[in-house]
Structure 1
């Protein structure tokens, strides 16, 4: 690999790791924070007839996880295009 290709590969992985860490942080805050730490405070609110803290612990964290997966796929597709990464190579 040339020096330019090494720099490009390094930049690609740096952005990839940064994206994953951000999404994992969001998932942690939603699942652990809303489902465990702030459950008592969130339970004062209702969502579809359920206490909000209970809903996040049982359903909300899963929905957020699925949305994060969809976002990750789209963001990685854009990142692959930006750095001209092709899966078929």
Structure 2
């Protein structure tokens, strides 16, 4: 990657870490919060015949993680274009 200036490089990595932190918070809330902490509350709701808390613990957090990978990819592609370091 060739940045135009050191300021661009610093701003790029700051935005990259911000995106990463936000996505990790979402993943933590879904996997730990919904799968462990809120499981009793969520188990009162049925989802495809399963208790919602059980579903989050077993499959939901994995699906959310896969979606977050694609969100990260899209966000990073946009960030790369913004700073002119995208692959053409």
1:21 correspondence with 2:21: yes
Quote the Cα distance in structure 1 between the aligned partners of 2:18 and 2:74.
Answer: 15
Equivalences for 1:2-17 in 2 at 5 Å? Answer: 5-17=5-17
1-structure distance, mates of 2:5, 2:86: 14
Whether the 8 Å CA contact 2:77–2:86 is kept in 1: the answer is no
* CA RMSD, Structure 1 to Structure 2 (Å): 1.3
- For 2:59 and 2:5, the matched residues in 1 are separated by 44
Do structure 1's residue 32 and structure 2's residue 26 form an aligned pair?
no
Cα deviation for residue 86 of structure 1 reads 3.8
> TM-score, normalised to structure 1's length?
0.91
- Supply the distance in 2 between the matched residues of 1:61 and 1:52 (Cα, whole angstroms): 11
Distance 1:10 1:87 in 2: 20
| 2:52 alignment counterpart | 52
Query: What 5-or-longer segments of structure 1 have no aligned partner?
Result: none
Aligned-partner Cα distance in 2 for 1:67–1:31: 13
Return the TM-score normalized by structure 2.
0.92
Segments of 4+ moved more than 3 angstroms = none
